[in-house]
Structure 1
Amino acid sequence: MKPITEAEWTKRPDLPTLIAALGADECRYVGGCVRDALMGIEAHDVDLATRHAPSEVVLRLKDAGIRTVPTGIEHGTVTAVLDSGPVEVTTLRKDVATDGRRATVAFATGWKDDAARRDFTINALYAHPETFEVSDYFGGLDDLAARRVRFIGDAHERIREDHLRILRYFRFHARFGSEPANEEAVAACRELAPTLKGLSRERVGWELQNLLALPDPSPTIARMAELGVLAVVLPETGGVQVNRLARLVTAEREAGIEPDAIRRLASLLPPDPSCAEQVASRLRLSNAQKKRIKLDAARTEADTANPRALAYREGIEIARDRLLLLDASVSDLRGWDVPALPLKGGEIVAAGVCAGPQVAKVLRTVESRWIDEGFPDEVRTREIMAEEVANLA
């Protein structure tokens, strides 16, 4: 494993001021930033755990001239706003009661108490902010070295505390895990999969998108299907659709196209816009995402006949999605910008056509021929217009 000090985030110039305000022995870097640093992966977020109560955190940071935002203060989280980026500072906690969807917590003073309420051993690693010595209470370092994703304590109990941990398990296994998967974790996920139905749709949709955005989630999605987990959150899918995701991932890689969660979600659904709309609504996708997945679902084999014509009608993004989903080449779109028809209705009127429906008819016909001829230049477009105007005589 890599030394934590090699991670770029540890070199942020304003972190020492934050640490000094909290007291180096009263806080620890925790979770993803520690895990990723040990693996040589650059972390996007930096999190601190502290013994201080949230009100004390706010006062200390105010005295140090650091602005705070109470992003989750009822759960003990305060965001420190630094020039180099925000840092979430969370008071140590322990669970008092859980119902699978939300937890009632109490503030704690022991690092191990805080670690015990986390999901996986690899996410319960704490690093001293000055020495970067790692505190590991549940074997997370060994699991990280073995690329093993393991629940802290009893897997069934951890999932009953928060049902979303089923999806988190598969996401973390897709990102960090190796084979064979942890048997206890897999068995618990299979047994408790029906509990996912009680979660908010937004949480399920967000976690599913995070999984699908990983470099290659197809083996994990296939396993979720085998275990009956996928059918709970995405009942519209089936074996054929799961296989399509694997083909899509390969096609993206070969074409040098970045992974995209919505395109991959579309691959798991049948080519049916009404079905896609239902899924998008259930998962609470944004309006833009909903529109895109419906257009992706409208794909037909006819789309592959003329990729540039498809891109002209639907836009480059949708055309690329449909071609990839149809196992067709996207080479015709590489480096190509969708052109605009170099003709206006006024030019047709100037050519002798009376303003009205005839102008629109000529414009549509010219546009159709222009597309079929491969988007010729302005000179050829006017020749096409002249021919169509002459046909009206």
Structure 2
Amino acid sequence: MASADPVLDALDAKGGESRFVGGCVRNAILNRPIDDVDIATTLAPDEVIEALEAAGLKAVPTGIEHGTVTAVSQSRGFEITTLRRDVSTDGRRAVVAFTTDWAEDAQRRDFTLNALYASRDGTLHDPTGRGLADAKAGRIVFVGDAGRRIAEDHLRILRFFRFLAWYGKGEPDADALAACAAGKASLSALAAERVSKELLKLLAADDPRPAVALMEKTGVLAEILPERPGLAAFDGLVEIETEQLFLNDPLLRLAALLPDDQLAAAKAAERLRLSNDERDRLVEAMGKTPRITSWMSPRESRRAVYRIGTQAFGDRIKLAWARATRTAATHQWRGLLALAESWTPPPFPLTGEDVLNSGVPKGPMVGQVLREVEDWWIDHDFIDDKFSAIEKLKAVAQGMAY
């Protein structure tokens, strides 16, 4: 990657040895898209900062206590971390010591397929001796003892299932599964934000159903989603997204894992510390009014879109579709989604000023009249005739007792 060259040049000039590490190496081997580019180096954090600044690059000490500095080159961030080993851990955070031993650094990483390094000339380094083979075979295997890796960071339980969903093939590693099941209670000690972030990443995989089924079997899912009603709706939603070529929607998949109830969705969102927008979307997806059915008429559909918005209407359709037992209505559900995507709700043609001009005095009566006329307008399928709306307003206003 060309934008990484100035960073590596700066580190090389300081006399350190630096290599690409982790996800970017793994994905390059597997011909997968590369998002983040991480670099490991033998330089100490203060030396990294000095090297970057000497080269005119921005250095941000994003995790200096753990040896991490972010370099900015050509408007892109590169996370640079000094080789390290764990001194002590409590399952949530670690105290580290810096080292120059690549094998020692590899031993503190989570999975063998993530403990891969590559020099800038393309030379691959596999300190565990099995990372390359495991990556190609789709084996998600902890580095060393699985229980010890989980004790170092409890989030690695969820990371195991996330990597299983994204990269796993064949039978999952038995030792890893057993260690995740044995350590599942430790998930309660993690910050909710870390759990929800990892869960949504997992649910964004093309087909997370096998991984989620294993989470259910091992009891891990119950630890983070105790209110889950089962996996039927979730499985149905992923199947629909796959068959209909919809984009993977991790938040809606989370909704499918929750009870079909707004209060339960709100409580789950609070427990997982989701953002306000994520919480609101989950809650709206569980709404019961208006009722969503596969046999809704176009007129009823437009009315629903106007009332609850395109996003909530589409979410409710997909969830209702996923929970339905009949598959014959596929074309009807698809038609409802197409209508929602193609129809833009028109603005209501009247304002409070129009109501005042009709003779209604200022006060709460203005809103009441406006709502009654709007209901009439909606019932008439959003009639595109302001004159008719004005005439209706006059009739309503005349019938009101001021």
TM over 0.5: yes
Which amino acid in structure 2 is aligned with residue 29 of structure 1?
F
What amino acid is aligned across from residue 243 of structure 1 in structure 2? A
Q: CA deviation at 1:303?
A: 3.4
Matched, 1:288 2:296: no
C-alpha distance in structure 2 between counterparts of 1:300 and 1:178, whole Å: 42
Query: How far did residue 357 of structure 1 move?
Result: 4.5
Q: Which residue of 2 aligns with 1:41?
A: 32
1:381 correspondence with 2:371: no
Question: How far apart are residue 61 of structure 1 and its match?
Answer: 1.3
Distance in 1 (CA, whole Å) between partners of 2:363 and 2:6 is 71
Q: 1:370 to 1:215 in 2, by over 3 A?
A: farther
1:16 aligned residue: 5
CA distance in 1, matches of 2:108, 2:346: 56
Q: 2:370 aligns with which of 359, 363, 376?
A: 363
SS where residue 92 of structure 2 aligns?
A: coil
Map of 2:351 onto structure 1 = 344
Give secondary structure in 1 for the equivalent of 2:183. helix
What's the counterpart of residue 329 of structure 2? none
Does residue 185 (structure 1) correspond to residue 185 (structure 2)? The answer is no
- Offset of 1:250 from its aligned partner? 2.8
Provide the residue aligned with 2:236 in structure 1: 247
Alignment of 1:38-187 (within 5 A): 38-129=29-120, 131-138=121-128, 139-187=130-178
CA distance in 2, matches of 1:38, 1:378: 62
What residue identity is the alignment partner of 1:348? V
Q: Secondary structure at the match of 1:68?
A: strand
- In structure 2, do the counterparts of structure 1 residues 235 and 301 end up closer, same or farther at CA, with 3 Å as the change threshold? farther
Indicate yes or no: 2:277 matched with 1:277: no
Aligned with residue 248 of structure 2, among 238, 259, 265: 259
Q: How many residues matched?
A: 379
Give CA deviations for 1:166-191 in whole Å, capped at 9, x if unaligned: 10000000000012111221121112
Q: Determine if contact 2:310/2:341 at 8 Å carries over to the other structure.
A: no
CA contact (8 A) 2:290 2:304 kept: no
Query: Share of identical aligned residues, percent?
Result: 45
**1:146 CA drift (Å):** 0.9
Please state how far the C-alpha of 1:391 moved relative to its aligned partner: 5.3
Q: Which amino acid aligns with 1:343?
A: L
CA gap of 1:299–1:226, structure 2 versus 1, over 3 A, is farther
Unaligned runs of 5+ in 2: 322-332
- Structure 2 residue 55 is the aligned partner of structure 1 residue 30: no
Q: Work out the CA distance in 2 between the residues paired with 1:149 and 1:122.
A: 7
SS of match in other structure, 1:223? helix
Secondary structure class of the residue paired with 1:330: helix
Once the two structures are TM-superposed, the CA of residue 351 in structure 1 deviates from its matched residue by: 3.5
CA contact (8 A) 2:24 2:34 kept: yes
Which consecutive residues of structure 1, in runs of 5 or more, have no partner in the other structure?
1-9
- Are 2:334 and 1:335 aligned? no
TM-score by length of 1: 0.90
C-alpha distance in 2 between matches for 1:208 and 1:320: 23
Report the residue type matching 2:150 in the other structure: I
- 108-117 or 14-23, which deviates more: 14-23
Q: For 2:126, give the aligned amino acid.
A: D
Shift of 1:156: 1.6
Structure 1 residue 325 and structure 2 residue 319: aligned?
yes
Superposition deviation, residue 84 in structure 1: 4.2
Per the alignment, residue 214 of structure 2 pairs with 223
- Code of the residue aligned with 2:72 in structure 1: it is V
1:5: which partner in 2? none
CA contact (8 A) 1:301 1:326 kept: no
Look up the equivalent residue of 2:311 and give its one-letter code: E
CA 1:199–1:356: 2 relative to 1, 3 Å: closer
The Cα shift of 1:390 comes to 6.1
The answer to which of 371-380 and 166-175 deviates more is: 371-380
8 A Cα contact 1:236 1:269, kept in partner: yes
Structure 2 counterpart SS, 1:119: coil
| Partners of 2:237 and 2:355 in 1: CA distance | 44
- Match of residue 4 from structure 1: none
Q: CA deviation at 1:300?
A: 5.5
Deviation at 1:283, TM superposition (A): 1.1
**What is the aligned counterpart of 1:297 among 278, 286, 292?**
286
Amino acid at match of 2:312: I
Measured after TM superposition, the shift of residue 301 of structure 1 is: 7.2
Secondary structure of 2:154 counterpart: coil
Q: Which moved more, 1:111-120 or 1:251-260?
A: 251-260
C-alpha contact 2:16 2:43 (8 A) present in aligned 1: no
Which amino acid in the other structure matches residue 133 of structure 1? Answer: T
CA-to-aligned-CA distance 1:338-362 (integer Å, 9 cap, x gap): 3211111322333444444444333
Secondary structure of the residue aligned to 1:137 is: coil
C-alpha separation between the residues in 2 aligned to 1:388 and 1:51? Answer: 79
SS of residue paired to 1:29: strand
